[in-house]
Amino acid sequence: MWRILRTPWGCAAMAAVLITDLLILGWLVRFDTRVSAWVTRHVYRDFSGRRGEFVDSIQLVRREGGGFSVIDASQSADELATLSQGAPERVVSVSYWRGAWWVGAWAPWWKREVSTVLVAELADGAEPEPREVSLARRALSDRMRTRERVNFAEEIEAGDYNRRSFVWWGPVHDAVMGLLVVGLLACVPSMPGWWRRRGVKARLARGVCPACLYDISRTPESGGLTRCPECGRAWAADASIPARR
């Protein structure tokens, strides 16, 4: 297996997997394009559940005393809008999208925090003050930072489509990508020697000296080596012995 991976074909296969993972999957899902919508709709259909769009996470932030308490809700954006129209309290909605893409020294990792609606119920219909909105933002931010990260497969199994952030690939993906990176780095330095041995074997198969192209097809072997009478270099049949006088 290691001998196969040390060939150009093995390096090309590992590089193709890495390029696919880093460029195609990560970038297509990251940006809002037709291709990313197609990938999302067909690859993550069961997970998204809304015609290829990521499910919004709704946060209800209630004002309690001098701070805010965060309450999860599963309403869609339309249901939330209908609910807020009949509410006597003022509603503050903050929508944002944030994504990040990292390629570490050992494995790629991509995280997306889906669109979030922040609702602050303010007493007596008063206009929201900047400090109140800031506190609400801080409450949501703290909640997101302290939330335990879960894997993509676990999200589907649990049927929980309203989580706020997702790590698309879990430990298995990171381990495989890490091995590919290490293997690729280990195989690249051996490429010049591989090409050299390939050329030596090809010339020996034609019965000529790889160094001076002298015909050695009728030269007898001695100790498993064929010595060229023209240049004096000795060659092994498997090209494992370097040329020498």
User: Tens of pLDDT along 231-245?
Assistant: 878 877 666 555 444
Residue 78: predicted pLDDT = 53
Position 189 confidence tier, pLDDT thresholds 50, 70, 90: confident
Q: Is 228 in contact with 216 (CB distance < 8 Å)? A: yes
- Nearest-CA neighbor of 169 among 160, 177, 161? 177
pLDDT over 90, % of the chain: 0
Tens of pLDDT, residue by residue over 190-208, are 777 777 777 888 888 888 8
Residues 175-186 have a mean pLDDT of 73
Position 16 confidence tier, pLDDT thresholds 50, 70, 90: confident
Nearest-angstrom CA–CA distance, 115 and 162: 11
- The owner of tokens 């609606």 is 117
Q: Is 89 in contact with 83 (CB distance < 8 Å)? A: no
Q: In the predicted model, what is the mean pLDDT of the chain?
A: 55
Question: What's the whole-model pTM score?
Answer: 0.31
Tens of pLDDT, residue by residue over 2-15, are 566 666 767 777 77
Domain boundaries, the chain: 31-168
Residue 158: predicted pLDDT = 43
Residues 42-61 have a mean pLDDT of 38
Any idea which of 11-25, 136-150, 204-218 has the lowest mean pLDDT?
Answer: 136-150
Burial code of 36-56, b = ≥16 C-beta within 10 A, e = fewer?
A: eeebbeeebeebbeeebebbb
Burial code of 223-243, b = ≥16 C-beta within 10 A, e = fewer?
A: eeebbbeeeebbbeeebeeeb
